[in-house]
Structure 1
Amino acid sequence: MIRKCITAVAALLYLNAIAAAQTPFGLEPIATLEQPWAMAVLPQGGFLVTEKAGRLTYVATSGEVQTIAGAPSVTDDGQVGLHDVALAPDFETSGLVYLTWVDGSGGGALHLGRGRLDLAVLQLADLDVIWRATPMGGKGHPGAMIAFGPDGHLFLTSGDRQLGDPAQVLGDSRGKILRLTVDGTPVSDNPFPDAPEVWTFGHRNPYGLTFDGTGRLWSHEMGPRGGDELNLIAAGQNYGWPQVSEGRHYSGRAIPAHATRPEFAPPLMEWTPVIAPAGMIYYDGRVFPEWGGSLLLGGLASQALIRVEISRETAQEVDRWDIGNRIRDVDADADGQVYVLEDGAEARLLRLIRTP
């Protein structure tokens, strides 16, 4: 028995050594933050990072962390607080920064705001709310991810707040992906005249949003008990939640699969057991050229950086690298250097360093 145990341990160590040898990068810590949620790489160097309790920080390339004044008041409770941060497409001339957060009673409402960054005085000035979820309320995560499209419009994910049914109600902003102007108003040619801000619906918790190199929009969302999804987003589509899912209710009760309801758009990929996907970018950088044309996404439950190869109609996970901590966000700079943001009370911002 002892010999068998030693043999099993040796085999496990051998497999771990192989996995480590196959990982094409090391991890270089840049800074430590308190429950960070999202990051944006600044074109002049450094990062903007949101912390869930309501702090907006500037992280210099040296690792120094400074608070930026002017962040909104937020409801820091459970899964809600200060969420995404995104630079305007014309940030280098306008200095405009977009934030999402939850505030208010009864679970609060998702807010989208815009202000002007002045790093010289560490100030986000003139922050205005340009969109607010209606109706408000619910539990759980609000989605809250921002992506700017090739057409210059702003896309925003809005989670169902663990309520389910609102995802199928076009007049309710929860459980949707929205398409807005940069001023927060509905785009005139959106697909639903009676719900002018809605681009797609039937989403649970869309927590990753990015455009690929051909201008297609991708989103991932957390499933219930199983059934995390990667979706290719097309205008006017209904993605089925809560009528269908590749997972089950937390109680174990079954949910019909997408295949049973062909009127709903199915995911291109699903994960069971879940990876709890968080953050996502399309990568086409020079530092890791072999990853070109892939999606990189963080895993919370899986504690991993995950690479998904995409084509015209397919998506396939091809790499899963164990980071050893929950990964909250992923980003890359103009040179193709990749950064990951851990989750937790003492979470690190890490740079991926290519190994020989």
Structure 2
Amino acid sequence: MRLIPSLIPKSGLLLLFLPFAVAAQSFTSNDAQFSLKTVADGLEHPWSLAFLPDGSMLVTERAGRLRLIENGTLRPQAIPGLPSLVVSGQGGLLDVVLHPEFVDNKTLFLSYAHRSSQGMTTRVARGIFEGERLKDVTTIFEARPRSNTSRHFGGRMVFDASGHLYVSVGDRGEMDRAQDTRDDAGGVHRISVNGEPAPGNPGLDDPNINNTFFTWGNRNIQGMTLHPETGELWTHEHGPRGGDEINILKAGTNYGWPEITYGIGYSGLPITFSTEKEGMAQPLHYWDPSIAPSGMALYTGTDFPQWQGSLFVGALKLRKLVRLEIENGQVVEEEDLLTSLNERIRDVRAGPDGSLWLLTDSSQGKVYRVVPVQ
């Protein structure tokens, strides 16, 4: 897969990771033999990973801490200066992404759950990472209205080539909110680095659509990546019992939840009898039963040439890594990996050199790097 230079972040990220002393675990796929090298462990439900220009890494812990991995070692102290947040149910500190010009401005963005007297919601804050602390932290986005549920915060973020930030917000466990375009829940929002609606958003000229919306009808997106060749935004979202979806998002598109779904309710009863309706998009791919997907990366590295162009998705419920072979924008093969590891895979990231990185979701979570067996 060829990388388009204009779609590579302007942060000047370099891969300077040192060799790790921890013994690797070996696994086999249809096309390759690989191992996992443990970069860090002892993390409390790690949620997201970001690569800094000097080769160190930032890791969020859902429990409300931002951690630094430097020279292959997890620093014992959490980074101070985080915004006020709440750890409740599925909520806590979620994603971390760097500004496309981080090298120059040291700016990063955090998504997290926040509580007030009106309830909880998903927020995004911007801050300066300097001197191993955050400063000048400012809230730039808040999904409204708030509610008292502790589910489906979404929280995945990604920048596009124009410097616009995409933020997913789940339906908060109140499914009908995803079809209300005057309610921020259940969709993806596209904003500027200051939190303003991005130019071209579908609601800018429509009073019935909130002006930060990019898409709606999304249940709970926890995987999001920008395709390195096309610039398209690829996402996946949790279904209920079945109906996890992969979608290529288009501005102003309704993805149907809960009016259409390939899943059923947790009670075993139907949510709807419809899997398609006019004006609602069909998924590129779906899972039934549910795998509970989280984290997503398109492989562009050179360690595994046979994986070029594959989409990798972590699975929480079924505890595996899924490799999807993509041809002409369609899934043509699916392979389950790491089933013997028996770990909930929370995040899947492509490193600056295209290498594949994983986070495991547990009270003793790990950071893994996927490497070829020589």
Same-fold call, TM cutoff 0.5 = yes
**Map of 2:129 onto structure 1:** 117
Counterpart AA for 1:29: T
| Offset of residue 22 of structure 1 | 6.2
Change in Cα spacing, 1:80 to 1:18, as seen in structure 2 (3 Å) is closer
- Counterpart Cα distance in 2 of 1:82 and 1:112: 10
TM-score normalised by structure 2 residue count: 0.86
Change in Cα spacing, 1:258 to 1:281, as seen in structure 2 (3 Å) is farther
1:129 aligns with 2:139: yes
| Superimposed CA distance per residue, residues 43-64 of structure 1 (whole angstroms, 9 cap, x where no aligned partner) | 2112101111211110113223
Counterpart AA for 1:125: K
**Map of 1:41 onto structure 2:** 51
| Offset of residue 144 of structure 1 | 0.6
**Map of 2:223 onto structure 1:** 208
Q: Which stretch has the larger CA shift, 130-139 or 254-263?
A: 254-263
Of the candidates 101, 104, 110, which is equivalent to residue 93 of structure 1?
104
1:59 aligns with 2:69: yes
**Map of 2:152 onto structure 1:** 141
- Counterpart Cα distance in 2 of 1:281 and 1:183: 26
Please tell me whether Structure 1 or Structure 2 has the larger radius of gyration of its CA atoms.
1
Counterpart AA for 2:102: F
- Counterpart Cα distance in 2 of 1:23 and 1:141: 35
- Counterpart Cα distance in 2 of 1:42 and 1:241: 36
- Counterpart Cα distance in 2 of 1:258 and 1:207: 24
The sequence identity of aligned pairs, in percent, is 39
- Counterpart Cα distance in 1 of 2:188 and 2:257: 13
Change in Cα spacing, 1:257 to 1:97, as seen in structure 2 (3 Å) is farther
- Counterpart Cα distance in 2 of 1:294 and 1:148: 21
| Offset of residue 239 of structure 1 | 0.5
**Map of 1:198 onto structure 2:** 213
**Map of 2:80 onto structure 1:** 69
How many residues end up aligned between the 2 structures?
Answer: 338
Counterpart AA for 2:344: R
1:238 aligns with 2:254: yes
| Offset of residue 260 of structure 1 | 3.8
Please provide the CA RMSD for this pair.
1.9
Of the candidates 245, 248, 256, which is equivalent to residue 229 of structure 1?
245
- Counterpart Cα distance in 2 of 1:209 and 1:20: 24
Of the candidates 325, 333, 337, which is equivalent to residue 351 of structure 2?
333
Of the candidates 161, 170, 176, which is equivalent to residue 165 of structure 1?
176
| CA contact 1:179–1:197 (8 Å) conserved in 2 | yes
TM-score normalised by structure 1 residue count: 0.90
1:156 aligns with 2:156: no
**Hey, which of these two has a bigger chunk of helix by percent?**
1
Secondary structure of 2:138's match? strand
Secondary structure of 2:137's match? strand
1:218 aligns with 2:234: yes
| Superimposed CA distance per residue, residues 150-177 of structure 1 (whole angstroms, 9 cap, x where no aligned partner) | 2221111010011011101111110011
Counterpart AA for 1:31: A
Q: Which stretch has the larger CA shift, 280-289 or 149-158?
A: 280-289
Change in Cα spacing, 1:21 to 1:256, as seen in structure 2 (3 Å) is closer
Counterpart AA for 1:170: T
| Superimposed CA distance per residue, residues 196-251 of structure 1 (whole angstroms, 9 cap, x where no aligned partner) | 11111001001111111211111100000111110111111100111111000111
| Superimposed CA distance per residue, residues 287-316 of structure 1 (whole angstroms, 9 cap, x where no aligned partner) | 222222222121111211212223444224
| CA contact 1:228–1:271 (8 Å) conserved in 2 | yes
- Counterpart Cα distance in 2 of 1:206 and 1:233: 11
| Superimposed CA distance per residue, residues 52-80 of structure 1 (whole angstroms, 9 cap, x where no aligned partner) | 12111101132232421111221111110
Change in Cα spacing, 1:347 to 1:188, as seen in structure 2 (3 Å) is same
Counterpart AA for 2:220: N
**Map of 1:50 onto structure 2:** 60
Q: Which runs of 5+ in 1 are unaligned?
A: 1-16
Secondary structure of 1:166's match? helix
Alignment of 1:170-189 (within 5 A): 170-189=181-200
1:103 aligns with 2:103: no
Alignment of 1:230-269 (within 5 A): 230-256=246-272, 259-269=275-285
**Map of 1:351 onto structure 2:** 369
Secondary structure of 2:253's match? coil
| CA contact 1:107–1:139 (8 Å) conserved in 2 | no
| Offset of residue 317 of structure 1 | 4.5
**Map of 2:337 onto structure 1:** 321
